[in-house]
Amino acid sequence: MSSAGRRRRHASGVPVLLAGIAVAALALVPLGFVVVYTVAIGPSEGWELLVRPRIGELVANTTKLVAGGIALCLVVGTGCAFLVERTDLPMRRVWYALLAAPLAIPAFVNGFGWISLTHRVEGFAGALMIVTLSYFPLVYLPVAASLRQLDPALEEAAFALGRSPLRTVLTVVLPQLRPAALGGSLLVGLHLLAEFGALQMLRFPTFTTAIYDQYRSSFNGPAANMIASVLVLFCLVLLLGELRLRGSRRYARVGAGAARSAAQHQLGRWRVPALLGVCGLAVLALGVPAYSLVRWLVVGSSTEFPITELALATATSVSLAGVAAVVTTLLALPVAWLAVRRGGVVGTALERGTYLANALPGIVVALAFVTVAVRYVQPVYQTHVLLVAAYAVLFLPRAVVSVRAALEQAPPLLEDVAGSLGSGPLATARRVTLPLILPGVGAGAALVFLAVVTELTATLLLSPLGTSTLATEFWSRTSSVAYGAAAPYALLMIVLSVPATLLLGRQLRKGLGP
């Protein structure tokens, strides 16, 4: 880059840097809440709270679930993406949609579907299976999009040099999938650290369920905050691990590469097993919860269809999710730009700072915002403004990961050329950068919409009096074992999530880059 280009980049980056700092400060409010209260407890009392046998059990459970969930989602998601995009698997377009569809079913609805049919899924094995079925699309979708975008000339060159198909996949294809696979795995890990509803139903205690139990049973702030501080350490380990594995390699290229698809691998005798595998996965992830919900609608003694309540909860969920998706995606833009274009310690620190709150359960984020609102900005207490702010903090990583992946593959050279031709920063962003990253922006907004429609714990604590969403209404009915009455709310959540899931899949099929 020329010295003039660097000066233009630096000058235009100052407002973005200030915006990124403001976004990171908002995202760090829950962490500050945990740190302040942890320090207030004092070292001796804090140590006594941490060295209990219960903490050891929670550490083991959380570690097993996060490690196992990430590993399974990475294997299942990457394997399915390769089958759909690079093999002659029959009905590939159908499978692409079906394997993305589990995102439309919240994990706690999936858990409800299984636990209401059999209690054998309680415990670690059942929890691991259900979170994998719920979250593997977070890896599958970006990896599938990256596979579609890879230039086949790279693989053809490897073949020409005498490399076997397997070696070509291992040495040429997989390294280029690293950003997508690591970004998806990071999201899976953060989701598992914060997962509450499904694990509570499946009776598998982790740090998140323990924090909820502490607050619900005795409002034990000190114990809950010490547990939350350990949860933050888990988040830091995930962030540092992903940063280490990602490395500093660049993946952008100028131009769209070869305008043709890569050669498909012939499955041969593996076609039937592969087809049975993806079919079985779709049945477990989609068929079982769908069957359970329909069954309870038909045979449930508490089944009812209160049209007014259903319509009100649906309208509230849609409006909150729509506003939160727009706000969160806008907040993600400066953070992702700084991480990719500016880089360095500052850009990386701001990006990683936005991830920390995602590892905290919704109840801790909600309590942090309640405390700040009551003490410093009382007019926003018990308003939708505070609720949307909590949503933005909780789900900012979803938007940041998507926008960052798009920016990584959008060549900065094009922005420099536009600047050298007299285009200002805003005009360059609107005419050059935004069209290149629009699929990633849309994917991030869709992911946030999906999350907000199904968010539970923060909504329970922060929503203004009289506000009800599909998730809170569903939870109140399942808590009283009114499975039939809960089923309509679960089905409506799924129906609302389907369009966003389809949009997400369509945007990612176009690729996250130019």
The domain spans of the chain are 3-246+270-509
pLDDT of residue 63: 92
The structure tokens listed for 166 are: 């397997």
pLDDT of residue 38: 76
472: left (phi over 0), alpha (psi -120 to 50) or beta: alpha
The structure tokens listed for 218 are: 């005795």
pLDDT of residue 438: 75
CATH code of 3-246+270-509, in short, is 1.10.3720.10
Q: What is the pLDDT along the chain (514 residues), one digit of tens a residue?
A: 445 555 555 555 678 888 888 998 898 888 888 788 777 777 777 777 777 778 888 889 999 999 999 999 999 999 998 888 888 888 887 888 888 888 888 888 899 889 988 889 999 999 999 999 999 998 998 888 777 776 665 665 655 555 656 566 656 666 777 778 888 888 899 889 888 888 988 989 998 888 877 766 655 566 777 777 788 788 888 877 877 776 655 554 544 444 455 667 777 888 888 899 999 999 999 999 989 888 888 876 667 777 888 899 999 999 999 999 999 999 998 888 888 777 778 888 888 788 776 667 777 788 888 888 888 888 888 899 999 999 999 898 888 887 887 777 666 655 555 555 555 556 556 555 666 667 778 778 888 888 898 888 888 888 888 888 998 888 888 876 677 888 888 888 888 887 777 766 665 555 433 3
pLDDT of residue 511: 46
Helix or strand holding residue 283 (H, E): none
Half-sphere exposure of 504 (CA within 13 A, CB side): 34
| Amino acid letter for position 481 | V
pLDDT of residue 301: 62
Per the listing, tokens 């899976």 go with 188
**Residue 350 near residue 444 (C-beta atoms within 8 A):** no
Provide the 8-state DSSP code for 263: P
Per the listing, tokens 């094995």 go with 125
The structure tokens listed for 317 are: 């969920």
- Residues in the chain, how many? 514
d(C-alpha 514, C-alpha 503), whole Å:
18
Q: At what angle do helices 3-27 and 307-337 cross, to 10 degrees?
A: 140
| Amino acid letter for position 168 | T
The structure tokens listed for 249 are: 């390699």
The alpha carbon dihedral of 49, 53, 54, 57 has a sign of positive
d(C-alpha 120, C-alpha 412), whole Å:
53
pTM of the predicted model, to two decimals?
A: 0.76
**Residue 208 near residue 361 (C-beta atoms within 8 A):** yes
pLDDT of residue 505: 62
3-state secondary structure 327-382: HHHHHHHHHHHHHHHHCHHHHHHHHHHHHHHHHCCHHHHHHHHHHHHHHCCHHHCC
Of 405, 398, 387, 400, the C-alpha closest to 324 is 387
d(C-alpha 392, C-alpha 415), whole Å:
29
Q: What three-state secondary structure class fits 87? A: strand
d(C-alpha 514, C-alpha 511), whole Å:
8
d(C-alpha 115, C-alpha 205), whole Å:
16
**Residue 501 near residue 103 (C-beta atoms within 8 A):** yes
- Residue 250 CB neighbour total at 10 angstroms: 11
